[in-house]
Amino acid sequence: IQPVLRSDYRPPTYWIENVELEFDLDPRETLVTARIAVRRNSQQPSDTLDLAGENLKLQSVAIDGKRLDGDQYQLRDDGMTLLNLPESCQIETKVLVSPLTNKSLSGLYQTSGNYCTQCEAVGFRRITYFLDRPDVMTTYRVTIRGDKKTCPVMLSNGNRIAAKDLDDGRHEVVWEDPFPKPSYLFALVAGNLKCHRGTFTTRSGRDVALEIWVEPQNIDKCEHALVSLQKSMKWDEDVFGLEYDLDIYMIVAVNDFNMGAMENKGLNVFNSKYVLALPDTATDEDYMLIEAVIAHEYFHNWTGNRVTCRDWFQLTLKEGLTVFRDQQFTADQTSAAVKRIDDVSGLRAGQFVEDSGPMAHPIRPESYISMDNFYTATVYRKGAEIIRMYHTILGAEGFRRGMDLYFQRHDNSAVTCDDFRAAMADANNINFDRFDRWYSQAGTPELTVTESWDAAKSEYALTMTQSYPTLPGGNPGTEDRNPVPLPVRVGLLDAESGEEIEQHSGVVMLDTETETFTFSGLSAKPIASVLRGFSAPVRLRMQRDNEELAFLMANDNDPFNRWDAGQTLATKLLIDAANGLADGRALELSEQFRDAFGRVLSDNSFDEAFKALALTLPRESVLGQEMDVIDPDSLHTARQFYRRRLAECFQSELTSLYNELAADGAYKNDQKSINRRRLKNVVLAYLSVLDVPACISRVSNQFHQADNMTDKQAALSLLANLDVPERDAALAAFYDQYKTDPLVIDKWYAVQALSSRPDTIEHVKQLTSHPDFSVDNPNRVRSLIGAFTQNQVRFHQADGAGYKLLADYVLEIESANPQLAARLVAAFNSYRRFDESRQTQMQDELKRIAEHPGLCKDVHEIVQRALH
């Protein structure tokens, strides 16, 4: 299989001037007629045109109304080539596609009996023959014909311009999108849907109709999504001056979807998980995610749709930027500090791992076999960190100037990451040439910081050095890596009072491999707070003793670093404890950590969400990264020991805090109540590890008495870890209460897959044969198999049973849904980080998958990179 290379980009030989599509909907044989007006690209003189097409049954091709014979075009598995085309002409193709049997959820498919499309990255070619590439932007007119009973609603992009009844119980609707767009933003939805409506008046006074389309039984679960959309529209006007451009904005929720949502022009298609919410069915986290995903897709209207990517290697141009925008939005709606901590935790747990394994790639990759494999944490989250660095360096105003220039230069066009970087630079008269390296180099840089104090000169100095770790060989973007520009936010604290020494707070730029930054006029050696707000996506290496970390935990007025100091301290101690286990050392709770934990617990200056984070130990997967060889068992044991000892030491404080928070009364949806629930459930988690009946009944009571899903799910996941009768009772009650709501039942699967109990793998196996389990539904597969792969201690069970289970599932679904299978198989990517026995077992499973006859190219790409 030949990879696609970034360096191979060539403009198309023809441009498309407009397209008319007609759909005659039918579950097995939908007829798609496409009339494409093309004009030769004067820059690429050629009379040959390659159209992409996959899984299409071609019925006819005509040029300017004249039907072609078989010798006038060449047909391949992946498309067709038209020869001897005139300067401009109209190409008409008719193809048949089968939505009912399309389980890949790419192209036109059926979900819960409704029709829906997914075109990004390359699904449009599964609908019709086309120049299915993002640099070909054109206007669409779409006619949909379907059965009036099964498809009363038929939607596509833009404005509905006509509708009429046909005979045979069918009807027809015509949609026109005035904005030129690439084919990946095309969408069609048809079926039996109900609409939750709202409006938004733009700041220039235009009324926009907002429509959220869902299956009839979900019509009462849309208000939160609607309000989220209105907030997003307002925020983009306020912060970036960006107004919505059509008179209608539609969102459709579907149950079977490979990812979160899709920003099709004027017609977003969403995984129902990111739309539907009532307090009884969705957690506070779900509410937050819905708001964030709605915002993300909405923000794409400018960063992605109006200005799109020239080719798929530029994906981070729209994704990194749009993630950054949705992060800023959420920060403004909630708490900037808490949002930053959540995002960095996610980056470290996911992207850092990806960036140190066989799939490591620059945020702008150099090659791919399947583009779908590059919708990664690196492209999205590290991409957002790169955007954040421009923002840190330029400030909000300078960043806004750069954005304004970007839109002024590139509206309605398809551009590159270099174009974005140039706009940021030119608008601010700054040189961002070196920033190019952030786009072309893979791997997480390490930033090593050492300090020195010269009492005679009253000078304090920080020496910063950057380096790249070595990575498994052969990955493009990992050779010849050079220093990158690193904005490092620094603050100095008075070691006595803990107060900030104001004149020395700010951002220093490390542009070279190493540099020393000197701070003068100090009366005593200060304590430095480095990389505040996580101002660059690096691993910070700074030798600090436990006292200093405890000092920062107590005094740093950068909340991110205050939290991070606690995490660093906990990581040091837990890794040491885990390593000690192997050497036969007994576990012991560090007094320093105990005291620091106690101080956080009794500190009432924090908001509750921050306190919840500060009281939470780093996840096992994050701790594992700091071990030379990941030992999942000793890490789990050490971390559990710490949790238990902390709970024992602070049992009375935790209990009274729980009681105070639990006295809040009936469910409320405001930020304060959300924060308090977050803290309450962290506290409950500590108490739940104490083996005392009172604690178990407290969890069980919360489960049975909760008036909201946040409290219910939190209690259920704690019970799922225990070996008590209350566990089975709760699981049974939960299933019984929610068995008709698939999104809630996903939670039921996930809590069991994430259980730390030693028999978890047995339960997971049993659940795969549960009547509600279906391999056709990605949410369900992710909630059971995907969640299980995140359960470090159980997935990496020493006998390899977890590995076998995953490999069996990957093979079971790969031919039907390659994208989903490829996501799951990536759980093996970190195999080199484990002991030899686990390595061999994972490698053997990877080989078994690699040798599977006819393996899809998505899985093939991941597996061959892993085995390389």
Catalytic residues: 297
Of 91, 105, 121, 569, the one binding ligand B3K (CB under 6 A) is 121
Contact 136, 19 (CB under 8 A): no
Site for Zn ion in 294-323 (CB under 5 A): 319, 322
Closer to Zn ion by CB, 309 or 810: give it.
Answer: 309
Quote the DSSP letter at residue 505: -
- Say how far apart CA 159 and CA 247 lie, in whole Å: 8
Closer to ligand B3K by CB, 375 or 803: give it.
Answer: 375
Non-local CB neighbours of 472 within 8 Å, separated by 6+ positions = 357, 358, 360, 832, 868
In the complex, which residue's CB is closest to ligand B3K? Answer: 120
CB 300 to Zn ion: min, Å? 6
CB 365 to ligand B3K: min, Å? 14
372 binds, among ligand B3K, Zn ion, none (CB under 5 to 8 A by kind): ligand B3K
Is 414 a binding residue for ligand B3K by CB under 6 A? The answer is no
Closer to Zn ion by CB, 319 or 726: give it.
Answer: 319
DSSP labels, 656-706 = HHHHHHHTT-S---SHHHHHHHHHHHHHHHHHHTS--HHHHHHHHHHHHH-
Strand partners, 67: 62
288 binds, among ligand B3K, Zn ion, none (CB under 5 to 8 A by kind): none
Q: How many CA atoms lie within 13 A of 131 on its CB side?
A: 30
- Say how far apart CA 402 and CA 274 lie, in whole Å: 31
- Helices 315-333 and 417-428 cross at an angle (nearest 10°) of 60
- Say how far apart CA 237 and CA 241 lie, in whole Å: 4
Site for ligand B3K in 267-296 (CB under 6 A): 296
Our separate counts of H helices and E strands in the chain read 29, 31
CB 320 to ligand B3K: min, Å? 10
262 binds, among Zn ion, ligand B3K, none (CB under 5 to 8 A by kind): ligand B3K
Fill in the amino acid letter for 100: L
711 binds, among Zn ion, ligand B3K, none (CB under 5 to 8 A by kind): none
Of 20, 54, 211, 372, the one binding ligand B3K (CB under 6 A) is 372
Contact 499, 437 (CB under 8 A): no
Closer to ligand B3K by CB, 364 or 504: give it.
Answer: 364
DSSP labels, 8-66 = G----SEEEEEEEEEEE--SS-EEEEEEEEEEE-TTS--S-EEEE--S-EEEEEEETTE
Non-local CB neighbours of 238 within 8 Å, separated by 6+ positions = none
259 binds, among ligand B3K, Zn ion, none (CB under 5 to 8 A by kind): ligand B3K
The residue count of the chain comes to 868
CB 478 to ligand B3K: min, Å? 24
Site for Zn ion in 318-357 (CB under 5 A): 319, 322
Taking alpha carbons only, the member of 585, 552, 588 closest to residue 567 is 552
- Say how far apart CA 682 and CA 685 lie, in whole Å: 5
814 binds, among ligand B3K, Zn ion, none (CB under 5 to 8 A by kind): none
Is 259 a binding residue for ligand B3K by CB under 6 A? The answer is yes
751 binds, among Zn ion, ligand B3K, none (CB under 5 to 8 A by kind): none
> What b/e string do you get for 715-732 counting C-beta neighbours within 10 Å, with b at 16 or more?
bbbbbbbbebebbeebbe
Is 363 a binding residue for ligand B3K by CB under 6 A? The answer is no
Is 306 a binding residue for ligand B3K by CB under 6 A? The answer is no
CB 11 to Zn ion: min, Å? 25
Query: Binding segment for ligand B3K among 255-263, 446-454, 469-477, 623-631 (CB under 6 A)?
Result: 255-263
* Edge-to-edge strand list for the sheet holding 506-510: 506-510, 486-493, 527-530
Contact 37, 18 (CB under 8 A): yes
Of 14, 240, 329, 375, the one binding ligand B3K (CB under 6 A) is 375
277 binds, among ligand B3K, Zn ion, none (CB under 5 to 8 A by kind): none
Closer to ligand B3K by CB, 271 or 475: give it.
Answer: 271
Site for ligand B3K in 316-355 (CB under 6 A): 319
Closer to ligand B3K by CB, 532 or 823: give it.
Answer: 823
Contact 32, 23 (CB under 8 A): yes
Closer to ligand B3K by CB, 297 or 711: give it.
Answer: 297
Is 224 a binding residue for ligand B3K by CB under 6 A? The answer is no
Of 50, 120, 342, 814, the one binding ligand B3K (CB under 6 A) is 120
Of 262, 600, 785, 805, the one binding ligand B3K (CB under 6 A) is 262
Taking alpha carbons only, the member of 135, 114, 248 closest to residue 185 is 135
Is 849 a binding residue for ligand B3K by CB under 6 A? The answer is no
Size of the site for ligand B3K (CB under 6 A): 12
- Say how far apart CA 258 and CA 819 lie, in whole Å: 7
Is 256 a binding residue for ligand B3K by CB under 6 A? The answer is no
**Binding characters for Zn ion, 627-646, by CB under 5 A (x = yes):** --------------------
- Say how far apart CA 124 and CA 119 lie, in whole Å: 5
CB 121 to ligand B3K: min, Å? 5
Taking alpha carbons only, the member of 756, 636, 644, 751 closest to residue 689 is 644
CB 373 to ligand B3K: min, Å? 9
Binding residues (CB under 6 A) for ligand B3K: these are 120-121, 259, 261-263, 296-297, 300, 319, 372, 375
In the complex, the residues that contact Zn ion under the rule CB under 5 A are 319, 322
